[in-house]
Structure 1
Amino acid sequence: MTKSSADGQMETSSPHWIEWVTGIISSLLVIALLGWISWDIYRYDDAKADFELSVVSVEPASNGFRVNFDIHNVSQTTAATVHVVGTLLSTDGTTDTADVTFDYVAAESHDNGTLFFKSDPQSGTLDLRVGGFTDP
């Protein structure tokens, strides 16, 4: 620490307590960051992307029904151009299909989307699946 005097500035021999606190906090942050990076490297699995899809809600829309869903990438690999396809088999035997494409779904992340159908999905059989994706 530098002290000012009438003769100019001079260095003291011992650091101020705030310098010690700052140094300790900075060291702990660096150690925690290195530990986190090491843990992430240790547990990394180079498997292909894998998804779980779940319907969140079904709502009436102006020209049909809106199906809100959640997509969860359970793997540690990011996927790009993720294509989700929904197929609705109505009780009268008709099939209605809707699809949506996500630009990417990051590793171990959640995202949500919406599909639109003409018939009520609650009165038929709704199947959601990932039709395909690309490696980024």
Structure 2
Amino acid sequence: MGCGIDSLSGPPFWLRWEVYKRSIIGQVRITLATCDIARGRTINMAIDQFEFITIGSGATGLVLDNHLIEDNKAQELVLEAGEDITADPRVTTPALFSTLIGSDADWDPVTEAQSILGNRKITMPHCRIPGGGSAING
């Protein structure tokens, strides 16, 4: 089941996310959450508890978060669509990264057929795990 706006409901805007890590960057409190609607777990967090909310915990998202909150120790919420599989051998062993392509950890985007490529479609791996594509692309 996807994680869309329909998974957010009710005043004051409750979020359906499973929280799996806290205190990601130094002394700044960051809550990293993964979408877990399929399992039916719901954690209610009022939206006004956070100064910043970032969607995605890829390299860019986490660098941006760190920059936004480094001076003021703000409350930060980072939402990640995937599970934390950063200790999985497919992530920690560079030679196994290709086993993640097309898996549950991959968004699995595919281009439209390109005439210049003989009508082939190209797969562009983008992982939905903490670290994003950087976690699998070295």
TM-score, reference length from structure 2: 0.24
Instruction: Compare the two structures and name the one with the higher strand fraction.
Output: 1
TM-score, reference length from structure 1: 0.25
